[in-house]
Amino acid sequence: MLAEVQRFVARESLLAPSEPVLVGVSGGVDSMVLLHVLRALEHTCTVVHVDHGLRGAESDADSAFVEAHCRERGIECVIERVDVRGKAGEGQSIQMAARELRYAVFERVLTGKSARKMALAHHADDSVETLLMNLMRGTGVAGWRGIPPIAGRFVRPLLSVGRAAILEYASKYKVPFREDSSNTDPHYLRNRVRNELLPLMEQLRPGARNVLARDADDLRRLTSIVETGFEILARSISTGPDGSWFIGREPLLGCGPLNCSCVGGRTRTVPCIHMSLRISAQR
């Protein structure tokens, strides 16, 4: 798994070799493995732990666990507590309030540190869950993206590996972690997708989880390619004397500056905007 994460980080330009990075660590298996992987890849890490205070003594124990883990290994650690219930009282759901407060802490800590990026522990299964929830709610192109590997200053080095690989890595390298009891609470839609829907889909079609992860990645790339293609088309539009619009022939009939067979330096297996437009133009 270590080699796969290293390839993914390089391919997506998430981090430069040995680049210092902040790491969001909850104490769960995903974030603890992320911290272990980044240190194994020789990144200097600063841990940021946000205590949401939602599970009483269990939340306190998570904070103490992360703090002790970092102290024993000489890792800089920042721990902050937020008032999620107070924020949710303003009309937001608990989950949305927790996310908003958590990212506010991340942004604030990023501003005060020399590291330019923060690594989060989302993985391939998370992306599949997000895609399925978006489809159930109804979504447009934006919902196809799933979880992006990079969003501003936030990077997700584990996005190309699934939960099974993460658990195997934790076992192999004896990475300590804590279980979050809220991850089994059926009150949350994501938990039901993770614990009920995906196992059922896997039972009906073995390998469905891996197929969906691949589809989510292709949809994310296709969305990016389409948006880039339309940006190029928009720049080629000119207006005639009578107010009519003209699109340049080059973007329609050739790859032009996009070089669609080699987006990002890699041959794509998903269709590009120029292929679709070329087919339409020939009809």
Each residue of 77-101: pLDDT tens digit?
999 999 888 888 767 788 888 889 9
Query: For residue 233, what are the contacts with CB-CB under 8 A and spacing of at least 6?
Result: 247, 251, 252, 273, 277
Could you give phi then psi for residue 184, rounded to 5 degrees?
Answer: -110, 5
Span 208-212, mean pLDDT? Answer: 88
Which burial class, exposed, middle or buried, applies to 218 when counting CB atoms under 10 A from its CB (0-12, 13-18, 19+)? middle
Q: Model pTM? A: 0.77
Rama region for 155: left / alpha / beta (φ>0; ψ in -120 to 50; rest): beta
Span 236-251, mean pLDDT? Answer: 72
Each residue of 27-73: pLDDT tens digit?
999 999 999 999 999 999 999 999 998 888 999 999 999 999 999 99
Which amino acid is present at 132? L
Q: Yes or no: say if 51 and 80 are a contact pair by the CB < 8 Å rule.
A: yes
Q: Yes or no: say if 5 and 158 are a contact pair by the CB < 8 Å rule.
A: yes
Q: Yes or no: say if 227 and 202 are a contact pair by the CB < 8 Å rule.
A: no
Q: Where in the chain is the domain with CATH 3.40.50.620?
A: 2-204
Q: 15 pLDDT exceeds 80?
A: yes
Domain 2-204 - what CATH class? alpha beta
Provide DSSP, the chain: -HHHHHHHHHHTT---TT--EEEE--SSHHHHHHHHHHHHTT--EEEEEEE---STHHHHHHHHHHHHHHHHHT-EEEEEE--HHHHHTTT--HHHHHHHHHHHHHHHHHHHSS---EE----HHHHHHHHHHHHHH---HHHHT-S-SEETTEE-TTTTS-HHHHHHHHHHTT------GGGG-TTSHHHHIIIIIHHHHHHHSTTHHHHHHHHHHHHHHHHHHHHHHHHHHHHH-EE-TTS-EE--HHHHHS-GGG-GGGGGGS--SS--HHHHHHHHHH-
| Residue 6 Cα distances to 17, 29, 49, 221, angstroms | 10, 19, 24, 20
Q: 269 pLDDT exceeds 80?
A: no
Q: Yes or no: say if 273 and 225 are a contact pair by the CB < 8 Å rule.
A: yes
Q: 165 pLDDT exceeds 80?
A: yes
Span 251-262, mean pLDDT? Answer: 48
> How crowded is residue 255: how many other Cβ atoms within 10 Å of its Cβ?
18
Per-residue pLDDT band at 118 (split at 50, 70, 90): very high
Span 135-144, mean pLDDT? Answer: 74
What pLDDT is attached to residue 212?
87
Q: 268 pLDDT exceeds 70?
A: no
Query: How many whole angstroms separate alpha carbon 21 and alpha carbon 97?
Result: 25
- The rounded Cα 64 to chain-centroid distance in angstroms is 27
